Amino acid sequence: MASKMKQLNGQAGATTGSALVGYYSPPEDTFGPPPSEVSPHDGRKKRKDALSWDKYTCAPYFDGRLWRKYGQKNIKNSHFPRLYFRCSYYEDKHCMASKLIQQVSNDYPPLYKVTYMHEHTCNAAPIPAPDVVAEAELPAVSDGFMLRFGSYGKDYRDARMKQEQRQHNQPMSWSPSELLSFDSWSSQLQHQPALSSYVPPPAAGSSSSFPIAESLPTLPAMSGEGDVLSTCWNSFRYSVEVDHLQFDNHVDFAGDMFSRDTNMDAHLHSWACTGIEGEEILF
DNA sequence: ACCATTTGACCAAC
DNA sequence: GTTGGTCAAATGGT
pLDDT over threshold 70, residue A55:
yes
Work out if A43's Cβ lies within 7 angstroms of strand C.
Answer: no
Work out if A171's Cβ lies within 7 angstroms of strand C.
Answer: no
Q: Which residue has the higher pLDDT, A18 or A48?
A: A48
What nucleotides of chain C have any atom within 7 angstroms of a protein Cβ? 2-10, 14
Q: What pLDDT does residue A163 have?
A: 57
Determine the average pLDDT of the residues in A77-102: 86
Determine the average pLDDT of the residues in A58-79: 82
Q: Which of A74-83, A201-210, A234-243, A250-259 has the highest mean pLDDT?
A: A74-83
Q: Which of A35-39, A109-113, A265-269 has the highest mean pLDDT?
A: A109-113
Averaged confidence pLDDT in chain A: 47
Determine the average pLDDT of the residues in A34-50: 43
Determine the average pLDDT of the residues in A197-213: 28
Q: What pLDDT does residue A83 have?
A: 92
Q: What pLDDT does residue A5 have?
A: 33
Q: What pLDDT does residue A166 have?
A: 53
Nearest-5° Cα angle at A219, A214 to A225: 145
Work out if A3's Cβ lies within 7 angstroms of strand C.
Answer: no
CA of A100, C1' of B8: distance in angstroms? 19
A100 within 8 A of A82, measured Cβ to Cβ: yes
pLDDT over threshold 80, residue A79:
yes
CA of A84, C1' of C10: distance in angstroms? 19
Determine the average pLDDT of the residues in A208-218: 27
Q: What pLDDT does residue A82 have?
A: 92
What nucleotides of chain B have any atom within 7 angstroms of a protein Cβ? 2-14
Dump pLDDT digits (tens) for A151-189: 344 445 555 555 555 555 544 443 333 332 333 332 222
β-pairing verdict for A144-150 and A181-185 = antiparallel
Measuring alpha carbon to C1', the residue closest to nucleotide C5 is A47
Backbone CA torsion sign across A39, A61, A218, A201: positive
pLDDT over threshold 80, residue A278:
no
Determine the average pLDDT of the residues in A53-76: 82
Q: What pLDDT does residue A136 have?
A: 26
Q: What pLDDT does residue A165 have?
A: 55
Task: Please state, for a pLDDT cut of 90, what percent of chain A lies above it.
Answer: 2
Work out if A98's Cβ lies within 7 angstroms of strand C.
Answer: yes
Measuring alpha carbon to C1', the residue closest to nucleotide C10 is A4
Split at pLDDT 50, 70, 90, the class of A78 is: confident
pLDDT over threshold 50, residue A66:
yes
CA of A43, C1' of B14: distance in angstroms? 10
Q: What is the 3-state secondary structure (H, E, C) of chain A?
A: CCCCCCCCCCCCCCCCCCCCECCCCCCCCCCCCCCCCCCCCCCCCCCCCCCEEEEEECCCCCCCCCEEEEEEEECCCCCCEEEEEEECCCCCCCCCCEEEEEEEECCCCCEEEEEEECCCCCCCCCCCCCCCCCCCCCCCCCCEEEEEEECCCHHHHHHHHHHHHHCCCCCCCCCHHHCCEEEEECHHHHCCHHHHCCCCCCCCCCCCCCCHHHCCCCCCEECCCCCEEECCCCCEEEEEECCCCCCCCEEEECCEEEEECCCCCCCCECEEEEEECCEEECC
A241 within 8 A of A143, measured Cβ to Cβ: yes
